Amino acid sequence: MSARNRRRCMAALVACLVFLAAAAAALAAGPDPGGGAAALSPRALLEQAAAAGEAGRWEEAERDLREVVSRGIHDPEAWYDLGTVLAHEGKYGEAILALRRALRLDPRHEDARANLEWVRARLADASEGTDGARDLLARWLALLPERGALVAAIALEWIGAALLLFGLFRARRRAAALRRAGIAALVLAALLALPPLGLAWLRATDRSAVVLAERAEARSGPGEDNPVLFTVHEGLEVELGRARGDWVYVRVPGGPAGWLPRSALAPVHPDGHP
């Protein structure tokens, strides 16, 4: 390789590294501001909540954790801690909602799964959950570290593109080999990008919800004047359907379907109301 080509390769490599660093910075950019003068940082709030929980001051722990998530920090550990605290307080509906949100963000969070089962076992309505096949798929997709896979995919994408470009414009002895290597890198990048993108898609299309009302009557139509079909209780997980006014059509997994007041439910996706 001539000195000029070596210089070009180095320049391309540096460009790739710069882009990768930027990508990593973009992915890692989170809202953990480190705390201001007036407010504790989310992490400090989490530590404070854990200490309160250790001392059995569950209301205090709940308040801190609610503060964390109200700041828009949808971290699985924050939702897990909130769900666990709510379970201790006997607020099973909200506990299930928080733990489902933790699992939605991190499908391989085994402690959240265990606590979710603990709470489900204490519900008035026997619940199988709404996360069967989707949960299985999410757990499989989450085998690779989500952020790492995405950064690696973008890195490989850049390397593959660079190799292809070299292969296209340097019609010399190794051009074909460069092109083959470039295509292989792009294919690998696509494979690596599939799990994180699939997880993001699963999160965006999550239509499950949790009954928060102590008791709610599902009716045959959207309105109080329709006959009652069945009764649901706090903590039951349902699948959301279409909405009409203040009523939402829900289906109990493996069970009946009917219209419930919107106020009786909370979607697992924070913006998930239809």
Residue 245: CB minimum distance to another protein, A: 27
Cβ contact 254:128 at 8 Å: yes
**Matching residue, tokens 């964390």:** 68
Name the residue among 237, 234, 239, 238 with its Cα closest to residue 212. Answer: 234
Nearer to another protein, 196 or 222 (CB): 196
Residue 17: CB minimum distance to another protein, A: 12
Residue 211: CB minimum distance to another protein, A: 15
Q: CA-CA distance, 197 to 272, in Å (whole number)?
A: 19
Residue 124: CB minimum distance to another protein, A: 8
Q: CA-CA distance, 68 to 55, in Å (whole number)?
A: 20
Q: Which residues of this chain interact with another protein, rule CB under 8 A?
A: 19, 22-23, 25-32, 42-43, 46-47, 49-50, 53-56, 58, 61, 68, 72-78, 80-81, 84-85, 87-90, 92, 105-106, 111, 114-115, 118, 121-124, 126, 146, 150, 154, 157-158, 160-162, 164-165, 168-169, 196-197, 200, 203-204, 270
Name the residue among 251, 61, 24 with its Cα closest to residue 149. Answer: 24
Nearer to another protein, 114 or 136 (CB): 114
Nearer to another protein, 9 or 204 (CB): 204
Nearer to another protein, 6 or 242 (CB): 6
Q: CA-CA distance, 75 to 248, in Å (whole number)?
A: 28
Nearer to another protein, 146 or 217 (CB): 146
Can you give 200-222 as a three-state secondary structure string?
HHHHHCCCEEEECCCEEEEECCC
Residue 138: CB minimum distance to another protein, A: 13
Burial 213-250 (b: 16+ CB within 10 A, else e): beebbbbeebeeeeeeeeebbbbbbbebeeeeeebbbb
Residue 157: CB minimum distance to another protein, A: 5
> Which pair of structure tokens corresponds to residue 143?
């085998």
Nearer to another protein, 2 or 169 (CB): 169
